[in-house]
Amino acid sequence: MSYQTIEYSVAAGIARLTLNRPECLNSFNTLMHQEVRHALTALAADTEARVLILTGAGRGFCAGQDLGDRPSAPGGAPADLGESIERYYNPLILMLRRLPLPVIAAVNGVAAGAGANIAFACDLVLAARSASFVQAFARIGLVPDCGGTWFVPRLVGSARAMGLALLGEKLPATQAAQWGLIWRCLEDDELGPEVDSLAERLAAAPTRALARAKQLISASASRTLEQQLEAERDAQRELGYSADYAEGVAAFIARREPRFTGR
């Protein structure tokens, strides 16, 4: 498929999805939602892809919703925002969380509103030193969506999450890393090479095991310790029959690097 608002490719096990509306800091319009969903659906069915890099073109990662592209109800009245979230943003977040492979967010500039929370929905967030995160919703009379009230408190605690939501202040990438909100903050010229290196490492890793680790960590907050121990047991039982586990053990015994296939 030829895309107008994104760039998407898969090579050597690495999928790359770039939000490509740099003239408006890669804010989402309806077409971008449709194209991102199409790409993620294709990715979920791609047996060769083993890691996804999500980033933005130009000087920004994503500025959230394009306020000039809001859908309207008949007669020109504002559309129901809840309907828009239900139709577009909620499925996007769930698709990212449910992908059976690691997802890296490479935040190359501002990540505001939904853009910030889309980044937080990814598994590993690496950001350039010049990047920043803004829960900008209160500035226009809204609340954080795209999981912002779920991800942020779990990552940094309720006090910091409350401050970010109520004040809408810009959080520099350096401070986001110090708080544990993201994985790493890098110098601007180091972001691309570091993301590529990490993606290559993950593309060579045991993909099924990484997918199960994602699932276990995501579900842990809603389980008791006993339930989580049982879930870990079930995952280990499944993975114990995998080709990658057999390869990992064989490589360990032979004192060589494993050659995982993701199966």
Whether residue 77 has pLDDT greater than 60: no
Domain match, 93 and 152 both: yes
Domain match, 199 and 219 both: no
Name the pLDDT band for 69 (thresholds 50, 70, 90): confident
Would you say residue 105 lies in a domain? yes
Q: Give the CATH number for residue 67.
A: 3.90.226.10
Domain that holds residue 227: 207-254
* Token pair recorded at residue 137: 């919703």
How many separate domains does the chain show?
2
pLDDT for the residue numbered 80: 84
Domain match, 142 and 212 both: no
pLDDT tens across 162-208, in order?
999 999 999 999 999 999 999 999 999 999 999 999 999 999 999 99
Q: End of a domain among 169, 188, 203?
A: 203
Q: How many Å apart are CA 15 and CA 41, to the nearest integer?
A: 12
Domain match, 186 and 216 both: no
Domain match, 168 and 212 both: no
* Token pair recorded at residue 60: 């920004």
Domain match, 15 and 120 both: yes
pTM, rounded to two decimals:
0.94
Name the pLDDT band for 1 (thresholds 50, 70, 90): confident
Domain match, 177 and 238 both: no
Q: Give the CATH number for residue 224.
A: 1.10.12
Domain match, 66 and 121 both: yes
pLDDT tens across 200-257, in order?
999 999 999 999 999 999 999 899 999 999 999 999 999 999 999 999 999 999 999 9
pLDDT tens across 103-126, in order?
999 999 999 999 999 999 999 999
Whether residue 71 has pLDDT greater than 60: no
Q: End of a domain among 203, 225, 241?
A: 203
Domain match, 237 and 213 both: yes
pLDDT for the residue numbered 78: 60
Domain match, 137 and 199 both: yes
Share of the chain above pLDDT 70, in %: 96
Would you say residue 129 lies in a domain? yes
pLDDT for the residue numbered 68: 85
